[in-house]
Amino acid sequence: MNKLKYILFTLLFLAGLNGFGQNNAPTGLLCNLLPHPELSEITNKIPDFGWIVNAGVKDDYQTAYQVEVATSASLLKQDQPDLWNTEKITSSQSINIRYGGKSLVPHQHYYWRVCSWGRTGKRSPWSNLQMFNTSDFDLARDWPGESKWVNLVGDNGKTAFTFENREPVNFHDVLPAKTTVLKSGNILYDFKKDAFAYLSLNISWDDKMKTDSLEVAIGEKGVGDSLDEKPGGGILFGIYKIALKKGVSNYILELPRFVPQFPHSEVMPLQMPEVIPFRYCVIKPIPGLKVNSIIQKALYVEFNPNASSFTCSDDRLNQIYELCKYSTISNTFNGDYANSERERMMYEADCYIQQMCHYAIDRDFATGRYSAENLIYHASWPTEWIMHSIFMAWADYLYTGNDELIDNYYNDLKAKTLTALETPEGLISSRTGLQSKSFLASIHFDGDMLHDIDDWPDADQGIYPNGETDNYERKDYNTVVNAFYYRALILMSRIAAATHHPDDAAFYEAKAAKVKIKFNDDFFDPINKIYTDGIGSRHFSIQANMFPLAFGLVPDEYKESVVNYVKSKWMACSVYGANYLMEALYNAEQGNYALELMTNDSDRGWLNMIRVGATMTTEAWDIKYDPHDISWSHAWAASPAHIIPRKIMGIEPAEPGYGKINIKPQPGDLKWAKMKLPTIRGDIVVELSQDPGSFFNLYTSIPANTTAKVYLPKQSGNYTVTVDGKIVKNAFVEGAWVVVNSPSGSHSFKIKKI
């Protein structure tokens, strides 16, 4: 061995002894759930930290960690943290570590890093440094959790307009995917995707025509080879003018400022250009004028497009996934989940669906948390929507393991269960005179009263003759509202347990059990063996049956008849209701039918949205179901973005914070599928291939510091189960599944008929 090789070998050997030779430094640092805290400011005096544990050896897990925080990056690089040094802490905890150092002060930059020890006892290298910024801790706010726009001052003295406590929004340059000269001589620019954006142009003009303006048309819908000038509904088209200057100049198409029409509509700050959704631009040429460049400036939150991915053997499902993934992020132009140009207002149900989608496509939790906090204090009018605040709060805790939201807003969430609307009947009703001023104040609703929505739009209103409620017959005691009531009680019991309120946990659990009995006594029709729309109704809608099925209200002996009825109704619900229809079907292990429904090619499906030219999910299935208000920019229709990873690929947290994971795929008749899912603990990869009834192959890669419970579909007759190439004898069977426990890392599973 020559001298150079000997020195290198010795250095590597010594580094290995100290744990520095492993490429397993913590990554994915989070401060207050922000992956990029350097781009925002936080108002928390005691922030929390988290990171991804990376394996140094097979099936690794964290045994200890060390966090350091300093007032400058140079101090950390010199191993001189001046604010906090935990030293070595023996613990497997890698998320939600509360700061315990010297007091932080407002309007400062801070830096932190972390290292960890794995099961071999070797220390990892230090992580990269992460900067975070503090805002004013004690500033008066209009409501708890309010996130203000602030000017962030960087080390170089430059300022950036950003948010407190959440991901900033940024403009992203999109060039035309296609430029077409039309028969009229006009030029059509197609940016390929609809986006909330403004237009930036560079134009040369010699002033020969003595005109002073350029006419620009923008819109969302194409027709033939041009732009649809009468798209109908809430689909946008507009003509605007740009004042011209002689010579070469840069221009911004200045759009009229959004005028709020609803109680909690949001407006863009004056420091930023106004945006509207558009995909196409048409310009009528003027002699002497040349468009040198034209850019769609698309606005949405900070986003990693490579954080998630899905592909499978059915290209229809691939298209649906990409549509819904894009819809989720493109509808964050406000920095939250306020959808559609018409309203720009957050609604609890809409936001819950978008929150679940956002968790499934990026490792971003702050946007969802802010939206949940905002809605607690800005409640909307549907009875069921109020209870969705509990859904959002539980999802925040389940996917992050962070209890700050459910702890800080605990009493508000208790009011959102709507127990105040429960009558001696044992059910809740919005029509029995219980909506007092004190009740409405307790849920932070500033309107006159709540109204049930059931599904949307409602044909009974006479406005939408082709409404999407399956002719739901509304009574004083409604099946749908009380299905939500039961689910809200179940989740509130879990929230109470997680926040150390054992008496409340027992109370809500007992109340949920009573509601379940009463629900089935009053709403289930024993002759038809399905649920009616309400007490006194003889009508049976899909909504009255899919919501109980989704929420676990249907006793085992009734499931077959309820499932069969739901399946007989096809897609007789709205794009919002489809979220719960899919939940109901997959919970009932009807994966084959659910996939068939999701990829159906009728006018009530996601493929229809693509066919008519939408590139964001639409507010209703088709314009004929909502001829007045339908928008082409509404993420409440994007549920496949989370249904595909959660139900088709089967990846769900088995405990808050993903320390334990369930992998229970229901791929229907897909031949193969691959999914990468970002989580707070790192990426989960699941790949599967199958010949139903013959074999099922599964490959998983789960982060260090986690374990998984893997479900394999049991084959008929005799079969073998193989894990990492070794046959498993006496594998545990749970219903139609063979269950195998798996450590972290990469593993292969095979079940084969013999």
pLDDT digits (tens, 9 = 90+) for 17-31: 333 335 799 999 999
* Residue 13 pLDDT > 50: no
| For the chain, percent of residues with pLDDT exceeding 70 | 96
Give the lowest-confidence range in 6-10, 86-90, 479-483. Answer: 6-10
Distances (CA, A) of 36 to 33, 138, 165, 166: 9, 23, 11, 9
Residue 64 belongs to what H/E stretch? strand 64-70
685 membership: H or E segment, kind and range: strand 682-691
pLDDT (mean) for 507-533:
98
pLDDT for position 212: 84
CA distance 361 to 27: 18
Q: What is the mean pLDDT of residues 144-171?
A: 91
Give the pLDDT of residue 2. 44
The number of helix segments (H) and strand segments (E) in the chain equals 17, 34
- At residue 6 the predicted structure's pLDDT band, cuts being 50, 70 and 90, is very low
Confidence tier at 551 by pLDDT (50, 70, 90): very high
Tokens of 431: 């029509």
The span from the CA of 636 to the CA of 386, in Å, is 16
Q: Which tokens sit at 342?
A: 């018409």
Q: What pTM was estimated for this model as a whole?
A: 0.95
Across the range 561-576, mean pLDDT stands at 97
Q: What does each C-alpha distance from 122 to 27, 287, 716 come to in angstroms?
A: 17, 72, 47
Q: For residue range 637-696, list pLDDT tens digits in order.
A: 999 999 999 999 999 999 999 999 999 999 999 999 999 999 999 999 999 999 998 999
Indicate if the pLDDT at residue 157 is higher than 90.
no
The pLDDT tens digits of the residues spanning 380-398 come to: 999 999 999 999 999 999 9
Query: Mean pLDDT across the stretch 55-83?
Result: 96
What pLDDT was estimated at residue 627?
Answer: 83
Confidence of residue 465 (pLDDT cuts 50, 70, 90): low
Token readout for 249 is 């100049």
> In terms of CATH, what superfamily is 24-163?
Immunoglobulins (2.60.40.10)
What's residue 250's pLDDT? 97
Provide the pLDDT for residue 15: 37
Nearest CA to 456 among 360, 343, 358, 565? 343
- End-to-end distance of the chain based on CA atoms, in angstroms? 54
Question: Residue 625: its pLDDT value, please?
Answer: 87
DSSP H or E segment with residue 748? strand 745-753
Question: Lowest-confidence range among 148-157, 191-200, 275-284?
Answer: 148-157
In sequence order, the 6+-apart residues with CB closer than 8 A to the CB of 273 are 198, 252, 254, 255, 297
Nearest alpha-carbon partner for 498 in 393, 415, 418? 393
Dihedral (Cα; 358, 364, 369, 375), 10-degree rounding: -40
Per-residue confidence (pLDDT) for residue 511, from 0 to 100: 98
Q: What CATH code would you report for 660-753?
A: 2.60.420.10
Burial class of 734 by CB neighbour count within 10 A (0 to 12, 13 to 18, 19+): exposed
Tokens describing residue 498: 């997680």
Percent of the chain at pLDDT > 90 equals 89
CA-nearest of 152, 141, 226, 144 to 182 is 226
d(CA 575, CA 74): 53
User: Which two structure tokens, joined as six digits, stand for 180?
Assistant: 């077409």
Burial class (CB in 10 A: 0-12, 13-18, 19+), 385: buried
Task: Name 172's bridge partners.
Answer: 298
Whether 345 has a pLDDT exceeding 90, the answer reads yes
Position 522 pLDDT exceeds 90: yes
Whether residue 81 is predicted with pLDDT greater than 60 in this model: the reply is yes
Higher pLDDT, 21 or 539: 539
Angstrom distance (rounded) from CA 365 to CA 260: 27
The whole-number average pLDDT for the span 331-350 is 95
- Give the residue-averaged pLDDT of 124-151: 95
The domain spans of the chain are 24-163, 166-345+599-641, 660-753
| Topology (CATH level 3) of domain 166-345+599-641 | Jelly Rolls (2.60.120)
pLDDT at 462 > cutoff 60: no
- pLDDT, one tens digit per residue, over 366-384 is 999 999 999 999 999 999 9
Q: How far is CA 553 from CA 43, 120, 480, 688, in A?
A: 41, 47, 11, 32
Q: What is the 3-state secondary structure (H, E, C) of 508-577?
A: HHHHHHHHHHHHHHHHEECCCCEECCECCCCCCCCHHHHHHHHCCCCCHHHHHHHHHHHHHCCCCCCHHH
Residue 459 is predicted with a pLDDT of 60
Reduced to 3 states (helix: H, G, I; strand: E, B; else coil), residue 706 is: coil
* pLDDT the model gives residue 617: 98
What's the pLDDT at 83?
98
Nearest C-alpha neighbor of 634 from the set 286, 255, 351, 303 = 351
Q: How confident is the model at residue 9 (pLDDT cuts 50, 70, 90)?
A: very low
Range name among 8-22, 522-536, 738-752 with the lowest pLDDT average? 8-22
Q: Indicate whether 439 pLDDT > 50.
A: yes
Is residue 88's pLDDT more than 70? yes
When the pLDDT of each residue in the chain is averaged and rounded to a whole number, the result is 94
